[in-house]
Amino acid sequence: MNINLTWETAAKLSAAGISFHPIPKRPAPRRRHTAEELAYFKRVTKNKAKARAKVRRAEQLAEEHRILKLNRERYQQERGFTDEDMEWEARFIAQHRLIGMKQHAKKLKATPKWADFEKIKAFYQQAARLETFTGIPMHVDHIVPLGSKIVCGLNCEQNLQVLTKRENIAKLNRWWPDMP
């Protein structure tokens, strides 16, 4: 015999000393989600995953920067370098990078005659100085790429910026301001 008892009735029977096993109520059937709700849930889940990945990347980058800085300090201490020595090293690195970029730009015929090489050199010095003192690899980036399927920029001071190596590599030659 199958008797459905409410919890109140079951409590009264239990108080009277009658043994029983109440049958739990069946939950109400779940409402099906609409297509819009399902799309929303999918989008929210995807955004949370992206946010978590972004936080992980930021933490990883911060750890890499910390390690690079420690390595730079150890390098400086082991060789007995002063801040003046580090400044000289930054100028030396900048000079060699400038020479390499001149050769690369000459190959692409991207350097106009009116380009100011002193200002261009200042970008390379700034990048080398930042790299030397922070330990973070820096690049001098062409805002509008020198070689792309869609656009060709110039090797001049108005088209240069200093970026971290990671940002510059991520940018490649596929992005620039006012991109179509």
Structure tokens at 68: 């690079």
Mean pLDDT of the chain: 80
Contacts of residue 157, defined as CB under 8 A and 6 or more positions apart, other chains included, come to 115, 116, 119, 120, 123
Residue 174 pLDDT greater than 80, yes or no? no
Collapsing DSSP states into helix, strand and coil, what is residue 160? strand
Question: Is 159 a domain residue?
Answer: yes
- Please state the rounded mean pLDDT for residues 63-87: 81
For the chain, how many structural domains are there in total?
Answer: 1
In angstroms, the CA 95 to CA 84 distance is 17
Domain residue limits at 170: 54-180
**Alpha carbon distances (Å) from 115 to 43, 123, 147:** 48, 13, 18
Q: What is the mean pLDDT of residues 172-178?
A: 76
d(CA 88, CA 73): 16
Answer yes or no: is 177 within a domain: yes
Query: Does residue 16 form part of some domain?
Result: no
Span 19-66, pLDDT tens digits: 655 556 666 677 777 788 878 877 777 777 777 888 888 888 888 888
CB 108 within 8 A of CB 146: yes
Q: Which pTM value belongs to this model?
A: 0.46
Q: What percent of the chain has pLDDT over 90?
A: 6
Q: Is the pLDDT of residue 4 over 80?
A: no
pLDDT on residue 109: 78
**pLDDT (average), residues 97-101:** 84
Q: What is the per-residue pLDDT across 115-147, written as a single tens digit (0 to 9) for each?
A: 898 998 899 889 988 888 888 889 999 888 887
Whether residue 47 is contained in a domain is answered as no
On whether the CB atoms of residues 13 and 5 are closer than 8 A, the answer is yes
Mean pLDDT of 98-127: 83
